[in-house]
Amino acid sequence: MTQGHPTGTDAGAERTPAFGVPRQRTTQAVPDTSATTVAPGTTVLTTAAPGAAAPGAAAPGATAPRKPGRDRYLDLLRTVALVRVVVYHLFGWAWLTVLFPSMGVMFALAGSLMARSLKRPAREVIRDRVRRLLPPLWLFGAAVLTLMFAGGWNPLDDPDHGGALGVVELLNYVVPLGAPPFPWDLGSKSGLLENTWAVQAAGVLWYLRAYLWFVLASPLLLWAFRRAPWITLFAPLALTAVVGTGVVSIPGETGNAVSDFAVYGSCWVLGFAHQEGVLARVPRYAAVSCSALVMAFGLWWASGHLGPDGWDLNDIPPAQAAWSFGFVVILLQYSPSWQELPRGLARWDRLITLSNNRAVTIYLWHNLLIMATVPLIDLAYGLPFMESEGATGFLDSTYMIWMFLLVWPLIAVMILATGWIEDIAARRKPRLWPDGRRSGARRAK
């Protein structure tokens, strides 16, 4: 098996399994997947809307320049991506990877923010990005490793991690340049958590590794993009055609990391194109038409290379790369650059603000919290009114719904308990529930 990729699938998978039936009743194979979420930081509105004048030029008929602020459209996309990741990891529905390619969207948003930040010295930007990423990872890693060691895992005795090499690999819980080690089987199926819980909990860390690689490479990528934008934009797709189709096979976790970089590299560079105004200068009809052709190719390729979970694009790197690329182009071409959410979405304003301020926390902990719903729901089987077959059957048939309903309060509790670490990492005053309500009240005055 390949460390960090629970099923040994190709790159780009969301790589954490969906959760299925009550453990007390049936045993079901759990498909592997991976999310999201998550790009740390705040999206800032500095990019011209499609069709706007190039930076530095006065738009015809313009009355005043737009004030800098949060781009609520991009904030909305990040929230949708996070919710989709949670739902996908819970239900494992393959069609969700086609409906909304969350990982590609999140990498594009992170790339846009990175391009904006690189107006400052590159070393300073990289230091800030790494600093914001690591403390939440350290807290999560400390909790997960404590549970693993308490469950009897010893990396020295783990044949999947090369003995002493596994101890060295533990450093990836400190700085995720590679994949952190974890046991593939820990405990028992009848235990408090499934015997694959460690895979589910640590499997999401592939995203942090990919994010860190992109951050470190961004100064060079942005330099290349400004000199040869189209070559830089399409080069990762070409690399995916090489490493994602088996033409060149790179074994082990290195191959997985290279494949991740290739599959989502064009989405990251699309963030550059959006931030630099290059994408806005492409006629919309041309961008959308070409994107539709690229997406059609992705679906065509997927139809002939279906994986164990059918149309799950996470198992099909070329399809994932093509579909995500085209999808992101269309989303960014139609980007309305809202400073405020429109009336129909205004009711979700506080939720969107909260999810963006706690994106790393939600992404890191959501899979472990999904698993935590199982022992909690199982307690219901011991209630007096559950002795009848009808009541037991009802709970069995609605088990997934209860998991879905319960995971969101658990995520809220985790935001309250650990989310403040994101503020500490960003050198802000710690906040328990940063949904923008207080600052909104001040603006109203």
Token duo for residue 77: 């996309």
Indicate the burial class of 68 (C-beta count within 10 angstroms; 0-12, 13-18, 19 or more): exposed
**DSSP SS3 for 411:** helix
**C-alpha span between 88 and 95 (Å, rounded):** 9
pLDDT tens digits along 83-128: 999 999 999 999 999 999 999 999 999 999 999 999 999 999 999 9
User: What are the φ and ψ backbone dihedral angles of 220, each rounded to 5 degrees?
Assistant: -70, -40
* pLDDT per position as a tens digit, 280-321: 999 999 999 999 999 999 999 999 999 999 999 999 999 999
> The dihedral of CA 164, 165, 166, 172: what is its sign?
positive
The mean per-residue pLDDT over the stretch 354-372 comes to: 97
Assign residue 60 a region (left: φ > 0; alpha: ψ between -120 and 50; beta: otherwise): beta
DSSP readout, 349-379? HHHHHHHHHTHHHHHHHHHHHHHHHHHHHHG
SS3 string, 253-287, reads HHHHHHHHHHHHHHHHHHHHHHHHCCHHHCCHHHH
Q: Are 206 and 4 a contacting pair, CB within 8 Å?
A: yes
Tell whether the model's pLDDT for residue 16 goes beyond 90: no
Judged against a pLDDT cut of 50, whether residue 366 lies above it is answered with: yes
Average pLDDT (32-50) is 40
Q: In this structure, are residues 199 and 6 in contact, taking their beta carbons and an 8 Å threshold?
A: yes
Dihedral pair phi/psi, residue 326, rounded to 5°: -65, -40
Q: Exposed, middle or buried by CB within 10 Å (0-12, 13-18, 19+), for 65? A: exposed
Output 48 or 97, whichever has higher pLDDT. Answer: 97
Q: Which residue has the tokens 């999401």?
A: 204
Q: Which tokens is 320 given?
A: 């994932």
Rg (CA), the chain: 22
Name residues whose C-beta falls within 8 Å of residue 377's C-beta, 6 or more positions apart in sequence.
22, 395, 399, 402, 403, 406
Amino acid found at 345: L
Rounded CA-CA distance 204/133 in Å is 14
Is the pLDDT at 411 greater than 70, yes or no? yes
Residues 6+ apart with CB under 8 A from 433: 354, 415, 416
Question: For residue 319, which amino acid is it?
Answer: A
- Count helices and strands (H / E) in the chain: 17, 2
SS (HEC) of 211-254: HHHHHHHHHHHHHHHHHCHHHHHHHHHHHHHHHCCCCCCCCHHH
SS3 336: coil
Contact (CB, 8 A) for 16 and 34: yes
> What single string gives the DSSP state of each residue in 39-93?
--S--EE-SPPTTPPPTTSPPTT--SPPPPEE-HHHHHHHHHHHHHHHHHHHH--
Beta strands in 264-351 (DSSP E): none
Q: Is the pTM of this model over 0.75?
A: yes
Return mean pLDDT, the chain.
Answer: 86
Q: Secondary structure of 152-174 in the HEC alphabet?
A: CCCHHHCHHHCCHHHHHHHHHHC
- 409 SS3 class: helix
Q: In the prediction, which pLDDT does 251 show? A: 86
Express each pLDDT in 216-228 by its tens digit. 999 999 999 999 9
Q: What is the pLDDT of residues 125-151, one digit of tens each?
A: 999 999 999 999 999 999 999 999 999
Helix, coil or strand: residue 310 = strand
pLDDT of 241-255, one tens digit each?
A: 999 998 998 888 889
Tokens 């790179």 label which residue?
Answer: 250
Give the percent of the chain with pLDDT over 70. Answer: 83
The per-residue pLDDT for range 54-90, each reduced to its tens digit, is 333 433 433 334 455 689 999 999 999 999 999 999 9
